Amino acid sequence: MSGVPTLNPFSPEAASIFHLFVAILLVMFAIFALVATLMTVAIVRYRDREGAPEARQEFGNPRLEIIWTVVPALLLAVIFVFTVRTIHASDPPAAGHAPDLRVIGHQWWWEAAYLNSGVVAANEIHIPVGHPLLLDIESADVIHDFWVPELGRKIDAVPGHPNHIWISADKPGTYLGTCAEFCGNEHAWMRIVVIAQTPADFAAWQRDQLTVPPVPLAGEAAQGAQIFRDQTCVNCHAISGTSGNKSIGPDLTHLAGRGIIAAGAAANTPENLFKWLKDPNSIKPETHMPNFQLSDAQAHALVAYMETLK
């Protein structure tokens, strides 16, 4: 959406965090205004003047000391209560619910497996508006952190320790997120795109994702499909209908339907895909995607094949 994402909540969870932030900000501003006013008054009124007598010296004032101890303590107690309420509102308990979606952080991309339908996506997560999904957040390697500020809190993706978070959106739209825990060279290019759709559109998207794209039988795309198998791309990438290996690299079954490649490092255009296949490091230095030293013809054929994976 637009503006500063943390100040633009689009889910009840994110709204609860935003409201607490605004409330504390207002209280802090009031305290700042009070202190600044009292200081200004004191500086002006008690400044040194020509011939003025020496100021009266005060040694302790029990009443004042009690007031400035009790008032902040009460204030902090109130903030504590609202903070605890926000913790519950922004992170409802997951116990007793089965996760809808398993999100796995990898260096440097996100795998998203829909546990009920079997859909596997990468970097772009679709959710139905008004139906909170329970996410199981895991990591395949180091600690990552899943954060979509408009939709909720941050949550760490810790190897061997699944975390849970509810995610929902009030209205359809595209919400940007990112990995929020330094996880290596390409930490900055570990973007998350959450696409909130009406339940009907979400269901249609899931059906679409479950279709197996036809293997092209002729032309450049067919050569590309052959190269995909010969060049061991299948060792790391799954494409439904081929014998690809899941979960090392992103599932490419519906690659052409995505807006980004390399977890946001480039827009998904044929030109960028070509560049990526020729030299992945030119787009994303230190990516685990190897450079296969493809010829231009081979890379073009692969791009032609990838473009059929709608």
Measured between alpha carbons, how far is 8 from 5 in angstroms, rounded to an integer? 5
Q: How far is the CB of 290 from ligand CUA (least distance, A)?
A: 20
Nearer to ligand CUA, 20 or 137 (CB): 137
- Bridge partner residues of 134 (DSSP): 166
Residues making contact with ligand CUA (CB under 6 A): 105, 108, 144, 179, 181-183, 187, 190
- Smallest gap from residue 236 Cβ to ligand CUA (A): 18
The alpha helices in 188-247, defined as continuous H runs, are: 199-210, 219-230
CB of residue 177 to ligand CUA, shortest distance in Å: 11
183 vs 221, beta carbon nearer ligand CUA: 183
Residue among 106 and 278 whose Cβ is closer to ligand CUA: 106
Closer by beta carbon to ligand CUA, 187 or else 288? 187
Give the start-end residues of each E strand in the chain: 101-106, 109-114, 120-122, 124-128, 133-139, 144-147, 155-157, 163-167, 173-179, 191-197, 260-261, 266-267
Closer to ligand CUA at the Cβ: 141 or 220?
A: 141
- Select from 141, 124, 144, 126 the least CA-distant residue to 200: 126
Strand order in the sheet with 191-197: 124-128, 191-197, 173-179, 144-147, 155-157
We find the least distance from the C-beta atom of residue 265 to ligand CUA, in angstroms, to be 13
Token pair belonging to 196: 């909130």
Q: How far is the CB of 190 from ligand CUA (least distance, A)?
A: 4
